[in-house]
Amino acid sequence: MKDFFISYTKADQSWAEWIAWQLENAGYTTIIQAWDFHAGSNFVANMQRAATESECTIAVISPAFFSSPYTEAEWTSAFSKDPMGTKRKFLMARVEDVKPTGLLKSMVYIDLVGLKDDEALDRLLKEITRERAKPEKCPVFPTKHERLETQPPRFPGVLPVRVFFILCTFSTDEIKKLIIKQNQIQNLFDIGIRIADWKSWAGRPNAEMNLKSLQKALELESKQVLKLEDKEQRESEIRKVLLKFCDEFQSHMSKFDKEHSDFGRLPFNGVNIAVTELQFPFNYYTWNTKDRNGVVVGIRSLKRLFQDEPQKVSKMIIRVIQRMCIYSLGIKDLKVHKDTKGCLFDFTQELKDIEFSVNENPMPICGQCRNTIEKEKNSQFLNTITEWIINSFK
């Protein structure tokens, strides 16, 4: 049983995804067509199943909603379970100026019209947690939401990016806040950076056990590798160990996709980012998996670098996430390099370089990488990316 089923029409998909993302981020589980239904599966059957297998249906209401035959079927089914609205089986979130009619006329809705991001989030969560939501100020007179009018179109063909917190005891609240902020200032990534619901996956204990035992085995292997005298051979063996470690994470993250949904999620074809406190081999703090489709970030090594400055650790993790997001845009000539201090693509183990990139550097992408991005995409694209990175800690 999921907490919420989000019912919406195509016209309000960006709102529906925003609501679902925020709810999941606040610890609830959701079902939403955009993320949970296979293309080609029976749409109406999925909808009905979703409505009955959720504690509560949230309808995203707008003029388009009331003119769709599919959504009418969904809300009628959800509403009939709780016609008085007392069990909160059915809620409405209003995103455009519309007056509910018929059966829904007398029901109170969560009004998101005319609100800024943070105000809308605040109201949504307050209503969901059943707190009294009397606004501090008189609500804004309903007008069409500005964001729908002014947001530039998304760049097509980009991959989704998802963050897993695996074997983490480190407080990840701050990283999560930064991720939310990162999503609010972007329109490059289709559904934004999502946080995977790793904790509620039944396969998790087994996956974590495997990761721990591989880590132990690699620790022993690492000791042998470091004894190798030939430098080239040693470095190549180091890379092999790092890759084994990271690919184990990737395989569990892929398994999570296949198994962790009653509805079978769409095959995830994006970038998986694992943030972990499991000891990274050779004290590295990050390494990519095969084909750059995933990355593992080691909090422990970062903590050692930053000596208990959790803010810097969080910022550093955001930088790695940003780098992976940019890789996911498919800019093929963009490569890791070692020579330009502070560039997003030049993260070595040098403490000073890393510190520079999160603290002082006014331009976190070097000239050469900027040229590459501009050449493969265009200058507007480069500007959007640059702003997205620069504004992340402001």
Residues that bind Zn ion in the complex, under the rule CB under 5 A: 340, 343, 345, 366, 369
Q: How many residues does the chain have?
A: 394
Pairing of strands 90-94, 54-61: parallel
CB of 365 to Zn ion, least distance (A): 6
By the 8 A CB rule, do 245 and 215 touch? yes
User: Please, are residues 356 and 342 in contact by the beta-carbon 8 Å criterion?
Assistant: yes
CA distance 83 to 347: 57
Nearer to Zn ion, 172 or 361 (CB): 361
213, with CB counted inside 10 A (0-12, 13-18, 19+), is exposed
Which amino acid type is present at position 301? S
Paired with 101 in beta bridges are none
Q: How far is the CB of 270 from Zn ion (least distance, A)?
A: 23
Q: Closest separation between CB of residue 367 and Zn ion, Å?
A: 8
Give the residue with the Cβ less far from Zn ion, 326 or 366: 366
CB of 336 to Zn ion, least distance (A): 9
CA nearest to 324, candidates 258, 248, 246, 251: 246
Minimum CB distance to Zn ion smaller for 318 or for 334: 334
Query: In whole angstroms, what is the distance from residue 100 CA to residue 109 CA?
Result: 9
What are the angstrom distances between the C-alpha of 157 and each of 147, 188, 189, 269, 385?
22, 10, 9, 11, 16
**In whole angstroms, what is the distance from residue 242 CA to residue 284 CA?**
9
Instruction: Choose between 69 and 362: whose C-beta lies nearer to Zn ion.
Output: 362
Residue with smaller CB distance to Zn ion, 171 or 359: 359
Rg over alpha carbons for the chain, rounded to the nearest Å, is: 23
Element counts in the chain: helices (H) and strands (E) = 15, 10
Q: How many Å apart are CA 393 and CA 385, to the nearest integer?
A: 14
295 vs 343, which CB is nearer to Zn ion? 343
Least gap, CB of 53 to Zn ion (angstroms): 48
Beta-bridge mates of residue 90 = 57
Give the three-state DSSP class for 329: coil
Between 111 and 346, CB nearer to Zn ion? 346
Q: Which is nearer to Zn ion, 26 or 336 (CB)?
A: 336
Shortest Cβ 344–Zn ion spacing (Å): 7
The distance of closest approach from Cβ of residue 388 to Zn ion in the complex, given in angstroms and rounded to an integer, is 16
Report which residue type is found at 18: W
Q: Which amino acid is at 220?
A: L
Of 59 and 334, CB closest to Zn ion: 334
CB of 340 to Zn ion, least distance (A): 5
Q: In which order are the strands placed within the sheet that holds 110-111?
A: 30-32, 2-7, 54-61, 90-94, 110-111
Least Å distance, CB 384 to Zn ion, is: 18
Residue 56: beta bridge partners?
A: 4
